[in-house]
Amino acid sequence: MSEAKGLKSWLTTTDHKRIGLLYFWTAFVFFLIGGVEALMIRAQLARPDSQLVGAETYNQLFTMHGTTMVFLALMPLGAAFFNFIVPLQIGARDVVFPRLNAFSYWVFLLGGLFMNASWFLPGHPAPDGGWFGYATLTERQFSPGPNIDFWLLGLQILGIASLAAGFNFIVTILNLRAPGMKMMRLPVFSWMTLVTSFLIITAFPVITVALVFLMFDRVFGTHFYLPAAGGDPVLWQHLFWVFGHPEVYILILPAMGVVSEVLPTFSRKPLFGYTVVVYSGVLIGFMGWGVWSHHMFSVGLGPIADSVFALTTMLIAIPTGVKIFNWLATLWGGQIRLTTAMCFALGFIALFTIGGLSGITHASPPADLQQTDTYYVVAHFHYVLFGGTIMGLFAGMYYWWPKMTGRLLSEPLGILHFWLTFIGMNLTFFPMHLIGLLGMPRRIYTYSTDLGLDRMNLWSSIGAFTIGLGMVVFVYNMWRTRRHGAVAGPNPWGGATLEWATSSPPPVHNFDVIPTVTSRMPLWDAQPPAKAPAEPVHVPPGSWWPLVAAAGLPVMALAPLTHTVWIVFVGAAILLYGIYRWAYEPFEV
């Protein structure tokens, strides 16, 4: 990485590796915040009729837990690896638009801070409408405070960050691949980054439209979702889930990509059925657009709509199942080394399978009528998003930590982290299947002891704190590597892809010579030796303007929040000035 030190070098950086680290640490802090919110939820639900936190606080906690984990933790943790790893995997020196990349990060950071600032204002007006923000509850009439405004403005800011990053990675992957790296030689993680980026640029405009409608309803008195004047609250549900279901794949596909890298490395075998795995990922991305109404079976859209969405949803199980079988076949006959990264990848397969199977049970609309909005669904999607996405991201963290920092995480501590997480996760979420089937709804801050679910809820809470303990071990492990981690060297795991062809951490220009690729597993197949660089490598200089431009957005968002029109012009002026200076910035060589 760049030799430059000090705060300025980080504020102005356009190096994809530094931006990757900024994404990683910011998202990791938000991940811890979302985790603390989860622990407070489980503390409240450990006993029936608990008075620990009130109804209002609880509603804010589950709203912000969901919103934080989806938009501020899991997506940007994926983006951290997109940033750090993808340019290395494809043999590039950086992303196509390095300053746009910095802009994405700063917008993400400021959007996250904007939304969370609501906790610290007088009266703590944190969002309380649920991460799904159903109209008409989120309309001014039923939520008069600024809570929902923080949520819908924060999400609009974050959407800009995601869109900019999505375009950047699509163009980067399509255009900056090293010589010889045909699309069908692209590592699966980079492939899944590409599919995810396409989903981002197509899904986020939809939620942006939905949020703008809601903002107009709340600020300017329109009636998009208000039935009294001919609007329809179900419109919100359609728009939200047209975004919301692809969003699920935005969260899971990067983790599937990580697993597709980790399993071959630690089985010492290439990924089984590479082509099928890639096409399955693409197919899942496409089919993810045709299933949104399975979130709405209880709305009563009618038997024909319900049947169609049930069948499209069930069809997605096929490419998903194909991926799982190909991963199993990758293990088959291999030389499996149970490193921490591998344990998390295997945990992904074990747990994601459970989430997929419970998903089939509510792909069936009549069955879903008993399951939706109960803890059964909470169990289901935590097996997908924790058992799947988070296990996959942990696998990625152990796998790529040495590449990102130059040092190895402790394996014994890692294995301890894995078992605490795996056991805690199942203890937390498995009982929720039963809690839901036995009649406990989601999003309730209190429940009666009459439900007979006290003990299962207590187990679930104990499980949550076990996960928390695992996180303490992990944070200690990361902190410890600052001095005590073993030095990694370029390729500590014997990986086959190009990120392992350069030093750890890589130099600012990534590769002295851009490698020429002749196969899918370049480091496992004999490669011609790299020649010395013919000329000095140009490295893009730092720039203040992405940060300045990004700072205009939260300022603009203050206008609808405070109902003060002139602020929007101040924010727009900052944004435009930043873009103007950015556009005319001299190109230094």
104 forms part of the interface with another protein (CB under 8 A): no
Find the largest Cα–Cα distance for the chain: 77
Q: Which of positions 418-437 make contact with another protein (CB under 8 A)?
A: 430-431, 433-434, 437
Shortest distance (Å) from residue 6 CB to another protein: 44
Q: Which of positions 288-347 make contact with another protein (CB under 8 A)?
A: 298-300, 302-303, 306-307, 310-311, 314-315, 317-318, 321-322, 324-326, 328-329, 331-338, 346
Segment lying near another protein (by CB under 8 A), choices 107-115, 355-363, 403-411, 463-471: 355-363
* Angstrom distances, CA of residue 19 to CA of 82, 85, 570, 580: 10, 11, 27, 22
Cβ within 8 Å of residue 210, ≥6 positions away: 236, 239, 240, 243
Contact of 389 with 251, CB cutoff 8 Å? yes
52 forms part of the interface with another protein (CB under 8 A): no
579 forms part of the interface with another protein (CB under 8 A): no
Shortest distance (Å) from residue 142 CB to another protein: 5
Question: Which tokens go with 9?
Answer: 């070098």
Among candidates 320, 321, 312, which has minimal Cα distance to 364? 312
Shortest distance (Å) from residue 444 CB to another protein: 3
Question: Which tokens go with 39?
Answer: 């622990």
Shortest distance (Å) from residue 166 CB to another protein: 30
Q: Which is nearer to another protein, 373 or 585 (CB)?
A: 373
10 forms part of the interface with another protein (CB under 8 A): no
How many other CB atoms are there within 10 angstroms of residue 110's CB atom? 22
Among 36, 43, 130, 223, binds another protein (CB under 8 A): 130
Q: Which is nearer to another protein, 12 or 460 (CB)?
A: 460
Sign of CA dihedral 258, 262, 265, 269: negative
Contact of 207 with 70, CB cutoff 8 Å? no
Contact of 189 with 274, CB cutoff 8 Å? no
Q: Which is nearer to another protein, 73 or 263 (CB)?
A: 263
Q: How many alpha carbons fall within 13 Å on the CB side of residue 191?
A: 27
Q: Which is nearer to another protein, 374 or 497 (CB)?
A: 374
3-state secondary structure 530-554: CCCCCCCCCCCCCCCHHHHHHHHHH
Among 32, 282, 416, 444, binds another protein (CB under 8 A): 444
Q: Which is nearer to another protein, 454 or 512 (CB)?
A: 454
How many other CB atoms are there within 10 angstroms of residue 195's CB atom? 24
Q: Which is nearer to another protein, 388 or 506 (CB)?
A: 388
Shortest distance (Å) from residue 365 CB to another protein: 5
Q: Which of positions 495-554 make contact with another protein (CB under 8 A)?
A: none
Among candidates 584, 478, 582, 558, which has minimal Cα distance to 164? 582
Q: Which is nearer to another protein, 133 or 254 (CB)?
A: 133
Q: Which of positions 464-503 make contact with another protein (CB under 8 A)?
A: none
Q: Following CA atoms 178, 179, 184, 189 in sequence, which dihedral angle do they give, to the nearest 10 degrees?
A: -10
227 forms part of the interface with another protein (CB under 8 A): yes
Shortest distance (Å) from residue 310 CB to another protein: 6
User: Phi then psi for 516, rounded to 5 degrees?
Assistant: -100, 130
Q: Which of positions 390-409 make contact with another protein (CB under 8 A)?
A: none
Separation CA 392–CA 373 (nearest Å): 26
Shortest distance (Å) from residue 458 CB to another protein: 9
Shortest distance (Å) from residue 476 CB to another protein: 27
Separation CA 129–CA 150 (nearest Å): 11
Separation CA 472–CA 470 (nearest Å): 5
212 forms part of the interface with another protein (CB under 8 A): no
Q: Which is nearer to another protein, 97 or 398 (CB)?
A: 398
Q: Show the binding pattern over residues 165-204: x = contacts another protein (CB under 8 A), - = does not.
A: ----------------------------------------
Segment lying near another protein (by CB under 8 A), choices 91-99, 205-213, 454-462, 497-505: 454-462
570 forms part of the interface with another protein (CB under 8 A): no
Contact of 194 with 115, CB cutoff 8 Å? no
Among candidates 97, 104, 114, which has minimal Cα distance to 79? 104
Q: Which of positions 358-377 make contact with another protein (CB under 8 A)?
A: 358, 360-361, 363-374
Q: Which of positions 236-295 make contact with another protein (CB under 8 A)?
A: 267-270, 272-276
Sign of CA dihedral 78, 79, 82, 85: negative
Separation CA 287–CA 320 (nearest Å): 11
453 forms part of the interface with another protein (CB under 8 A): yes
